[in-house]
Amino acid sequence: MASGSASDGEGTGRMDLRRNLEQLISATSERSYDRLVSYGFARRYVAGKVVADIGWQEVGFGALLLAETAESVAGLTSSTEAVDLARSAHLAPNAEYRKVDLPNLPFAESHFDVMVAFGVLENLEQPEDLLREAKRVLKQDGVLVISAPDKLALVDRYDPAGTGRRRGMYVAEFQELLESHFGRVILYRQGGVAGGFVFPVSGEIPGASVESTTLSLTSPYLGKEPPTTRSIMAVCSNAEAVRQEEPYLLLDRDRRVFDECEDRAEDVELLRGEIRQMQETEAQAFLDALRLRGTEIAYLRARVRRVEGEAQRLKTHIHNMQRSTTWRVFEPYRRLRARMDAAKKRTPEGAEDSGDDRPG
């Protein structure tokens, strides 16, 4: 009976933990959708495979999705807390979680069929170390699915997920790095999107015709340009069988992105306004300090010029004085006085007094 109560308590704790995680997801919808899209795309490669899912400070969220079709999933991360959380909240019979010292992977050569690494490469000091390890532990025809923030997007646009603090890569840089380790590299762009959808009443979603737009009520436009994204993804392998896949679209079934935008748009705008004001204040303070520094430098330079002028005037005065008639008239006297002073210094102390004391 006691064991049953302990089991019930453990189950209740796990349910509470899941509810807390659901609340966190609603608070960071865009980032969560980015992760869901990444793992949804990666599921194309994992059916019946031995898979490694590598995370930086989190693991389990995607491993649970991969485990639905994979033979087994090893969730690997550098965070002990992330391992503990995954073992409590993301249980699956064919998924295990381990702390590892990234980029090192404690597995034998040719151990995995597929490796998935999202949000890891940009946090490493030497990204190529992870790629060398990936190539070592993957089988000859193994597949690496990996992503990195797009540096161009991080520079050019506001980044609400905070990934601007991380080191992103340009597309060409990302491709060159991957191709130095794998014979075949296929690149994709990835990110959260918003829009509208028309589908059959039956609820089934067949292949969809996709277009894009820049929302404008005065100049409506529909075209084939891809949406704005913040990340780049690559599928890497030494097997020729790996080919370009069709685009992957994940739909927000419960409209949580739209609800979040409606509920928080005002708060986000206020926050952006505060950030802009802080930036303007800091910029103004810097300009004021720069002007003050310039003023101080100008004042010191003026002081230096005045001192140099006074020194030059004093030097001229001395020179003129030495060339004057009075100076020349008294020159013999100064020489005589100098000889007398020198002779006095050479006379032993008390010599004059001893001469006066001799008897007459």
CA angle centred on 75, ends 72 and 76, rounded to 5°: 135
Beginning with the edge strand found earlier in the chain, give each strand of the sheet holding 138-149 in spatial order. Answer: 95-99, 72-77, 50-55, 112-117, 138-149, 231-237, 184-190
Q: What percent of the chain has pLDDT over 90?
A: 34
CA 342 to chain centre: 79
pLDDT at 260: 54
- β 184-190/72-77 pair status: unpaired
Q: Which of 156, 127, 162, 157 is nearest to 234 (CA)?
A: 127
pLDDT at 140: 94
pLDDT at 16: 56
Give 3-state DSSP helix, strand, coil % of the chain, rounded to 5. Answer: 50, 15, 35
Q: What contacts 144, CB < 8 A, 6 or more positions away? A: 114, 115, 116, 117, 131, 134, 135, 138, 182, 234, 235, 236, 237
- β 138-149/231-237 pair status: antiparallel
pLDDT at 138: 97
Q: Which of 120, 346, 329, 348 is nearest to 233 (CA)?
A: 120
- For 240, half-sphere exposure in the C-beta direction (CA atoms, 13 angstrom radius) is 0
Three-state secondary-structure class, residue 155 = helix
Query: What value does the mean pLDDT of the chain take?
Result: 81
pLDDT at 24: 44
Q: Which amino acid is at 136?
A: R
- Write phi, then psi, for 54 (nearest 5 degrees): -105, 125
Radius of gyration (C-alpha) of the chain in whole angstroms: 40
Confirm or reject CATH 3.40.50.150 for domain 8-201+209-253, answering yes or no: yes
Domain residue spans of the chain: 8-201+209-253, 255-346
pLDDT at 121: 92
Whole-structure pTM value: 0.63
- Write phi, then psi, for 97 (nearest 5 degrees): -125, 135
The Cα–Cα gap between 113 and 52 comes to: 8
> Can you list the residues of the chain whose pLDDT is less than 50?
1-6, 23-27, 156-165, 360
Q: Which of 239, 26, 236, 33 is nearest to 121 (CA)?
A: 236
